[in-house]
Structure formats: C-alpha cells, structure tokens
C-alpha cells in the first residue's frame, strides 16, 4: 500500500491562534479553522514526512487513540483539506516552495 504525503499549500494565508490554525484559502478567500489535532497535522505537513509517520509521532504520542483509527481519520481530514486546496496530498514526497523564499512555518501567538 502506498504512503500518503501531505504538504501545506503555500497559496494559503495561515496563523495559529491559541493552538488552533486559521487558514484562508488562496483560491477563494474562504476561511477555515482547524482544531488542535488538525493543527498538529497541518503544521507537520512538510511534504517529506509520510502521513502515517506524522500520525504515529505527533498524534498518537499526544492523544490516547488507536494508531489505525487515527490514521484513518487523518487521511480523511487530509483529503478534505486537499479538496479545499488548503493541503496538498500525493503518494510521492512533495517539494515545498513559496515564491521568492524558503518555506516557513506559520508562526503565531501562544
């Protein structure tokens, strides 16, 4: 079974507010907010780390959840975010690029 790679879409605007990410779509300026678990996934989506590793190291280590269930939920979330062009998904590693500069984390308060 192929692995799923996830990367933050550099076209979005994003900021973390009290542990929850707010993201504005680059396509149509729709605003999304992610809960704390989804925020962890989004922040770890570097295009190089497969989703199952993100779930194992970032989600399962922090939350009391079965790895298989967590991965299933994470895949569903990733595909949904990809449908809104907030996240990019691929079965290959995704090179990250922001026009004019290296990829940066969306920082934020607290």
Partner 1 sequence: MSSLLQEMTDKALALGVPLSVQLDLTYRCNERCVHCYLDHEDHGEMTTVEIKHLLDEMAEAGVFILTLSGGEIFLRKDFFELLEYARSLMFCVKLKTNAVMIREKEAARLRDLNIQSIQISIYSHRPEIHDAITLVPGSLKRSLDAVRFLKSQGLRVIIANVLMTENMQDYSSVRALSAELGVECTLDPTVTPMMDGNRSVLKLGVDQNALRQVFRDPALVGDVDEFCAIPAKASESELDALPCSAGHSACYVSPYGDVFPCVQFPLPTGNVRSRRFIDIWRHSERMNEVRSIRVKDLTTCTQCTHVTQCTRCPGLAFMEGNMRGPSSQDCEKSFARTGIPSANMLSRRRPAPNLVQIRALPTLAGATA
Does 48 bind partner 1 (CB under 8 A)? Our answer is no
Q: Which of 4, 6, 12, 34 binds partner 1 (CB under 8 A)?
A: 12
Size of the site for partner 1 (CB under 8 A): 28
Least distance in angstroms from the C-beta of 23 to partner 1: 9
Nearest-angstrom CA–CA distance, 67 and 61: 10
State both tokens at 94: 């995704």
- C-alpha distances (whole Å) from 108 to each of 2, 40, 98 are 34, 13, 18
Q: What is the dihedral of CA 27, 39, 81, 60, to 10 degrees?
A: 160
Give whichever of 72 and 83 is closer to partner 1, judged by the CB atom.
83
Site string for partner 1, 52-71 (x = CB under 8 A): --------------------
Nearest-angstrom CA–CA distance, 68 and 74: 10
List contacts with partner 1 (CB under 8 A): 10-18, 22, 24, 26, 29, 31-33, 98-104, 106-110
């Amino acid at each position: 079974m192929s692995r799923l790679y996830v990367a933050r879409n550099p076209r979005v605007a994003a900021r973390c507010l009290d542990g929850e990410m707010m993201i504005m779509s680059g396509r149509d300026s729709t605003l999304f907010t992610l809960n704390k678990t989804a925020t962890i996934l989004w922040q770890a989506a570097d295009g190089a780390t497969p989703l199952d590793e993100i779930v194992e190291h970032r989600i399962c280590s922090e939350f009391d959840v079965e790895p298989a269930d967590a991965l299933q939920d994470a895949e569903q979330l990733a595909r949904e975010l990809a449908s809104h062009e907030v996240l990019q998904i691929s079965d290959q590693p995704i090179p990250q690029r922001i026009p004019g500069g290296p990829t940066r984390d969306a920082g934020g308060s607290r």
